[in-house]
Amino acid sequence: MDPKLLDDCVHCGFCLPTCPTYQLWGEEMDSPRGRIWLMKATVDGTLELDRTVSERFDRCLGCMACLTSCPSGVQYDRLIELARERVEEEVPRPWRERLLRKVVFALFPYPKRISFALRFASLPAPGPFRPLAELAPPWRERVAPPMVTPARGEKIARVGLLTGCVQSVLFGEVNKATARALAAYGYEVVTPYNECCGALALHAGHREDGHDAANRAYDAFKAAGVDVIVTNAAGCGSHMKDAHLDIPVRDVSELLAAGNAPELHPLPYRVAFQESCHLGHAQRVREEPRAALRSIPGLELLEPADQEICCGSAGIYNLVQPDAARELGNRKAGAVLATTPEIVATANPGCAIQLAASLRRAGTPLPVVHPVELIDAAITGSWEPKSRRHAP
Amino acid sequence: MRAALPQDALLEDEASRRTYECDGLTGRRSVPDLVILPGTVDEVRAAVRLCHAHGVPFVARGAGTGLSGGSLPVAEGVVIGLSRLDAILDIDLARGRVVVQPGVTNLAVTKAVSSAGWYYAPDPSSQQVCTIGGNVAENSGGAHCLKHGFTVNHVMAADVVLPDGELVTLSRDDSGPDLLGLFVGSEGTLGIVVSATLRLLRTPQAVRTWLAGFESTDKAGDAVSQIISSGILPSAIEMMDSLTIAAAEAAVSAGYPKGAGAVLLVEVDGPLAQVDDDSAAIEAICRACGAFEMRAADTVEERARLWKGRKSAFAAVGRISPNYYVQDGVVPRTKLPEVLRSIAALEAEHGLRIGNVFHAGDGNLHPLVLYDAAIEGQSELAEKVAVKILDLCIEAGGSLTGEHGVGVDKACSMPKLFGADDLGVMLRVRDAIDPAGISNPGKVFPTPRLCGEVPGPYRVHPLERAGLADRF
Ligand SMILES: Cc1cc2nc3c(=O)[nH]c(=O)nc-3n(C[C@H](O)[C@H](O)[C@H](O)COP(=O)(O)OP(=O)(O)OC[C@H]3O[C@@H](n4cnc5c(N)ncnc54)[C@H](O)[C@@H]3O)c2cc1C
Ligand code: SF4
Ligand code: SF4
């Protein structure tokens, strides 16, 4: 690990209040400041990197709230990535964890396998897989946008939509809505790459795998001759942006903001927007999705309290740290429900799954959608939240 | 402890204990034998009672943002962290009071009442993270203390676990000596606050913040003196010099005037008519003193933008220097320009950059001595320079600390400000409440172990001579 990156931390503690694990347990070693301190100690050799240390890194959600709250510009994203890589190399895990991680990584990056596994998710799952089964949304038919969707009106650019692994299986509708909405705003949308971009692997300490997948995606988009790569899953977006490709990467909301807005039909609903950590904290895209939602006539945008705190989804976190994830999910559901919304919008598939599961547990299964689905509905003027089979 | 407290309240493994080895003064470290995170007041009492019974020293800790080593653990002692006691117990707006547990953050108090038109006035720059327990212990202040006073002016009562485990309530309404006043600012040496009743203020009708750019700190300092002597009492007057402006720009793009050698932030609050009057006077004074750019902000968002650079200045310095040392001293307002020039001379003499960011209205300086710990000898040099700055403050007729406390950092400087009799009296008070000397020992008062062979005018206390107390 790079000691220079570690030295940026001046131990001021400004990152503590927005760290979800510090909120949960109030323990220094489960705060960004504490984790960085442990990284320092293992790097300068005064502390051994063993399970008691690596567990602290495992418990980090990678939500990047600490990136936003740190005034000293500490690159915690880089730090935790490097720490996780070291952990995977140096610290053996107990068999249960190894097994779970193996299964997760054999499953998630592969759309076909997720789709297959979902058919069995309603069957009783053995111990370590129970959280996986608990979260799993009902199986559904896979749908995908066309290979090419022509721009409506004057074409601004040719954009390549990353359809993603989890997104393409569970939220094919979101991909279709994204393509339609972008087309209506003046973009020609193509979908040359339908695999995992590597975000999940990278965030779990498999850095090489993560970079390889991002490069494969890049090659496909390059070959398709796109001007911009567009993502609608915040986690994938932040990963692709971090890969420093020579094709610009944008979140769908950023393109909407720069596009030619068509006339929108009113959607008279109270919509709570939950910022995804990887959109707000990691990509610093905050205003654009809100602006998109506000542009819909009649829509009332609601901001739940503690917006900056993670919902507990965080990549595979809700699978490997189920208790903490469930507690954070409950808190998030409480904050969202306090705004008395009719619809909940969030810009990441993991957050959508987690929010939906948490709202179900709270006994209030509201529809959870991607903001772009509302834009799409406002374009076509056909939105029937009550009749639609929502979930996940 | 295992028998008396739940398992999850005890942190025993080495890695966990390591993360508690220091506060914001990272140069001083000591790994505690045990960290206790009580979840209830009873658990605090149980822990303190056991410490008392076995003569084990304990150190209270809030968020660990202290800058004077106040929550530095004692080797072979325990740390009692109050982070889990973070409930707001009661909000009584009719009386303008809240009752909070010690682990509640300063900002959380204001957040809980702001929608109803109230706020908690003391606002340390660390307010988003520092705790009310730590604020009470340090008598913390902030930018707005010029008009509204420090923590001590806003704590109405406190429940305190004394060093023998007894729980007492100290209140402003008590007759007799002001024991609550004694406790506030005692830096954890008299026991542990387990709840505090705080006074709230009504959000003022109008607030206006002025940002003024000056060529030099001299000119800005001149404006400060004139504003105060004109009879206006702004809620805050803050100054930053070119180095800290640069750091804040790098961190949060504060948008401060380009090329400024100093900026002033002046804020006035109160009824709109008065704010308008004061504002006009402030603008005239600043311009007369050479302000080349002035901006005013009224809305919460715009004011926050002006304040952002100031609020993150300390931490932002981390971007332009690997390490820095925050000093905290007080000088009479009229001596500001003179002391700033002497500090600049120290900078030239020792080759370390020094940034200045301070509560100019009440002469509370926060010089930041920048250094690189990786360079042999620089840490020591920085500490030496910081001590020299403090000497300058005392010579100018000021004081050792405005708000960061004495802790371990300034214990050895105490004899420079206080005579042997003063220190003796303070020690006797401490002895009366903590005869065993187990509550945050080694802080505030100079000890031979801390200050080397020449501890200043330290005298053996009668209790020590009698063998009843020997920890100082
Ligand atoms: C970036 C930065 C900016 C700062 N700006 C300011 C500022 O503007 N003004 C200012 O005044 N300070 C400032 N500080 C210093 C610090 O934030 C304050 O001293 C604060 O009150 C400490 O609170 P804490 O919860 O972090 O306490 P800690 O650092 O954990 O402890 C401080 C002291 O309080 C004692 N203590 C803690 N909790 C209790 C309790 N419940 N009962 C009894 N004793 C207790 C500890 O033993 C210790 O002696 C700043 C610090 C930083 C890092
Ligand atoms: S990434 Fe999130 S969970 Fe991890 S240390 Fe930062 S704030 Fe805490
Ligand atoms: S990560 Fe940033 S905010 Fe957190 S303690 Fe370090 S410097 Fe402060």
- Supply the DSSP string of B288-330, one letter for each residue: HTT-SEEEEE-SHHHHHHHHHHHHTHHHHGGGT-SEEEE--EE
User: With b meaning 16 or more CB within 10 Å and e meaning fewer, what string describes A40-78?
Assistant: bbbbeeebebeeebbbbbbbbbbbbbbbbbbbbebbbbe
pLDDT for position A106: 65
pLDDT for position A144: 81
| Residue whose pair of structure tokens reads 């529809």 in the numeric block | A367
Nearest chain A Cα distance for residue B73, angstroms? 14
B253's enclosing H/E stretch is none
SS3 A347: coil
pLDDT for position A129: 57
User: What is the C-alpha to C-alpha distance for residues B336 and B349, in angstroms, rounded to an integer?
Assistant: 20
Write the pLDDT tens digit of every residue in A254-291: 999 999 999 999 999 999 999 889 999 999 999 999 99
| Residue whose pair of structure tokens reads 């993360």 in the numeric block | B19
Q: What confidence tier does A137 reach under pLDDT thresholds 50, 70, 90?
A: low
Interface of A with B in 38-57 (CB under 8 A): 38, 41, 47, 50, 52-53, 56
Write the pLDDT tens digit of every residue in B134-180: 999 999 998 889 999 999 999 999 999 999 999 999 999 999 999 99
- Answer whether residue A97 shows pLDDT above 90: no
CB A41 within 8 A of CB A47: yes
What are phi and psi for residue A36, nearest 5 degrees? -65, -40
Give every CB contact of residue B300 below 8 A, 6+ residues apart in sequence: none
Amino acid (one-letter) located at A42: T
Nearest to B20 among A8, A28, A74 (CB): A28
Percent of chain B with pLDDT over 70: 96
**Structural domain B206-395, CATH architecture:** 3-Layer(aba) Sandwich (3.40)
Write the pLDDT tens digit of every residue in A19-51: 999 999 999 999 999 999 999 999 999 999 999
- Answer whether residue B190 shows pLDDT above 70: yes
Percent of chain A with pLDDT over 90: 48
User: What is the C-alpha to C-alpha distance for residues B185 and B181, in angstroms, rounded to an integer?
Assistant: 8
Write the pLDDT tens digit of every residue in A360-386: 999 988 999 999 999 999 998 887 654
Give every CB contact of residue B395 below 8 A, 6+ residues apart in sequence: none
pLDDT for position B455: 42
SS3 B29: coil
SS3 B79: strand
SS3 B195: strand
- Answer whether residue A116 shows pLDDT above 70: no
Any idea where the domains of chain A sit in the sequence? 3-90, 270-387
User: What is the C-alpha to C-alpha distance for residues A275 and A309, in angstroms, rounded to an integer?
Assistant: 9
> Do the Cβ atoms of B315 and A10 come within 8 Å?
yes
Pocket test for ligand 3, best of A8, A9, A63 (most atoms within 8 A of CB): A9
| Residue whose pair of structure tokens reads 């001083």 in the numeric block | B28
Structure-model confidence comparison of residues B378 and A320, the more confident one:
B378
> Do the Cβ atoms of A14 and B26 come within 8 Å?
no
- Answer whether residue A130 shows pLDDT above 90: no
pLDDT for position B166: 97
Q: Which of B316, B330, B318, B469 is nearest to B395 (CA)?
A: B330
| Residue whose pair of structure tokens reads 């569970």 in the numeric block | A170
Amino acid (one-letter) located at B247: A
Considering chain B, what is the average pLDDT of its residues? Answer: 91
User: What is the C-alpha to C-alpha distance for residues B181 and B171, in angstroms, rounded to an integer?
Assistant: 9
- Answer whether residue A388 shows pLDDT above 80: no
pLDDT for position A177: 92
User: What is the C-alpha to C-alpha distance for residues A223 and A229, in angstroms, rounded to an integer?
Assistant: 12
User: What is the C-alpha to C-alpha distance for residues B214 and A3, in angstroms, rounded to an integer?
Assistant: 38
Write the pLDDT tens digit of every residue in A57-77: 988 988 899 999 998 889 999
- Answer whether residue B123 shows pLDDT above 50: yes
The answer to whether domain B88-202 has CATH 3.30.300.30 is: no
Q: Which of A344, A364, A178 is nearest to A255 (CA)?
A: A178
Any idea where the domains of chain B sit in the sequence? 7-81, 88-202, 206-395
Q: Which of B337, B220, B339 is nearest to B285 (CA)?
A: B220
Considering chain A, what is the average pLDDT of its residues? Answer: 85
Question: Left (φ > 0), alpha (ψ -120 to 50) or beta: where does A125 sit?
Answer: beta
SS3 B454: coil
pLDDT for position A115: 65
pLDDT for position B102: 98
| CB-count burial class (<10 Å; 0-12, 13-18, 19+) for B253 | exposed
| CATH number for the domain whose boundaries are A270-387 | 3.40.50
Strands, sheet with A300-302, edge to edge from the N-terminal-most edge strand:
A300-302, A270-274, A343-346, A368-369
pLDDT for position B471: 39
Residue of B nearest to A47 (CA): B15
pTM of the entire structure? 0.88
The CATH class that applies to domain A3-90 reads mainly alpha
The answer to whether domain B7-81 has CATH 3.30.43.10 is: yes
CB A314 within 8 A of CB A237: no
User: What is the C-alpha to C-alpha distance for residues A61 and A67, in angstroms, rounded to an integer?
Assistant: 13
DSSP A230-261: EESSHHHHHHHHHTT-SS-EEEHHHHHHHS--
The answer to whether residue A28 neighbours chain B at the CB level (below 8 Å) is yes
Q: Which two tokens stand for residue B269?
A: 């609050």
Give every CB contact of residue B432 below 8 A, 6+ residues apart in sequence: none
Q: How many CB atoms lie within 10 A of CB B285?
A: 21
* B361 CA from centroid of ligand 2 (Å): 38
SS3 B111: helix
pLDDT for position B454: 45
The answer to whether residue A245 neighbours chain B at the CB level (below 8 Å) is no
Residues with CB under 6 A from ligand 3: A 9-15, 32-33, 36, 66, 70, 72, 74; B 315, 318
Nearest chain B Cα distance for residue A49, angstroms? 9
* B130 CA from centroid of ligand 1 (Å): 6
Amino acid (one-letter) located at B370: L
User: What is the C-alpha to C-alpha distance for residues B64 and B84, in angstroms, rounded to an integer?
Assistant: 14
Q: How many CB atoms lie within 10 A of CB A90?
A: 12
Q: What confidence tier does B345 reach under pLDDT thresholds 50, 70, 90?
A: very high
Cα–chain-centroid distance for residue B152?
12
Ligand 2 atom showing the smallest separation from residue A64 Cα: 1
Q: How many residues comprise chain B?
A: 472
CB B385 within 8 A of CB B369: yes
User: What is the C-alpha to C-alpha distance for residues B466 and B120, in angstroms, rounded to an integer?
Assistant: 46
Q: Which of B424, B430, B436 is nearest to B468 (CA)?
A: B436
Write the pLDDT tens digit of every residue in B303-337: 988 888 888 787 788 788 888 888 999 999 888 88
pLDDT for position A121: 59
- Answer whether residue B249 shows pLDDT above 60: yes
Chain B residues whose beta carbon lies within 8 Å of the beta carbon of residue A12:
24, 65, 126, 129, 314-315, 318
Ligand 3 atom showing the smallest separation from residue A76 Cα: 1
User: What is the C-alpha to C-alpha distance for residues A263 and A261, in angstroms, rounded to an integer?
Assistant: 7
Q: Which two tokens stand for residue A346?
A: 């969030």
Amino acid (one-letter) located at A106: A
Structure-model confidence comparison of residues B413 and A382, the more confident one:
B413
ipTM score of complex: 0.87
- Answer whether residue B462 shows pLDDT above 70: no
Q: What confidence tier does A387 reach under pLDDT thresholds 50, 70, 90?
A: very low
Nearest chain B Cα distance for residue A350, angstroms? 29
Write the pLDDT tens digit of every residue in B11-38: 999 999 999 999 998 889 999 999 999 9
Q: How many CB atoms lie within 10 A of CB A164?
A: 28
pLDDT for position A384: 66
